Amino acid sequence: MNRLSRTLLLDVVAPLAVFYGLRAAGASPLAALVAGAVLPLAGAARDLAARRRPDGVRLFVLAVMASTVAASLITGSPRALLVRSAVLMAALGVFLLLTRRSFLYTAAHTVLPPDKQRIWQDNWDRHPPFRRVLSLLGTVWAAGCLLDAAIRLTLALTLPVDSVPALDAALLVVTLILLMLIQRTFGRAYLNRHGLRLRGVVLEPYPQDRPSTPPPLARTGTPPPARTGTPPPARPRPDSAGPRP
């Protein structure tokens, strides 16, 4: 199981299963939400402890998880825990907005094997349109995350508690699919307009379409072909001196 699958299982599927399983067993919404938050909280703490130098992103995620659980327990309101996903998505959107120029490049460079990393870096160094399109797409991802966060906050504060966790997961899927479609469509069209095409990780010149009709022949100095057939008889030439006597 790869890292993405483990993350989805631990942070999305398992909390949903715990929450709705406990609700079906008669637990209160607050107890079910707290129990569902334990798994991603424990996973974040384990990842943080496994690193010699904890990074700021993991510390922030862990702090948000812990604070929302504590707020829910103190206030007795499950909605304080429901806004956790909105806070995390908004923070991700702000982070992407601040690092839009290099985020997508760095994210792809991190997961590529070493041989493809060199190709990816060469694309970044040699082709300004490649750098510009990644910056534009970083802005698109930031805007998408901020819009997603606003929708999550509205859902958490207005809808029944039991429906919010499932809608949160569905919204995550929809947001990712839409952003990836926009990235693929817009990114490919932008590169094509600048004469480039991305095949895998290799950026190469985009083949231009050949004209459908042949170009007109250039004029040359060749004279037109001579006419064929019998030439007309020559007129008799008048003799100005006249016949001799």
* Residue-wise pLDDT tens digits, 46-87: 776 776 555 555 666 677 777 777 877 777 888 888 888 898
Which of 41, 20, 12 is closest to 161 using CA atoms? 20
**99 pLDDT band (50/70/90 cuts)?**
confident
Q: What is the dihedral sign for C-alpha 132, 134, 136, 138?
A: negative
Find residue 197's DSSP bridge partners: 204
Which residue did the predictor score with more confidence, 15 or 238? 15
pTM: 0.73
Q: What is the pLDDT of residue 158?
A: 94
Find residue 205's DSSP bridge partners: 196
Q: What is the dihedral sign for C-alpha 149, 151, 152, 154?
A: positive
Tell me what percent of the chain is helix, strand and coil, each rounded to the nearest 5.
70, 5, 30
Q: How far is CA 175 from CA 8, 113, 152, 182, in A?
A: 15, 27, 11, 11
pLDDT in tens, 192-216: 998 888 888 888 887 765 455 555 5
- How wide is the angle at C-alpha 150 spanned by C-alphas 144 and 151, nearest 5°? 90
Amino acid found at 113:
P
Element holding 78 (H helix, E strand): none
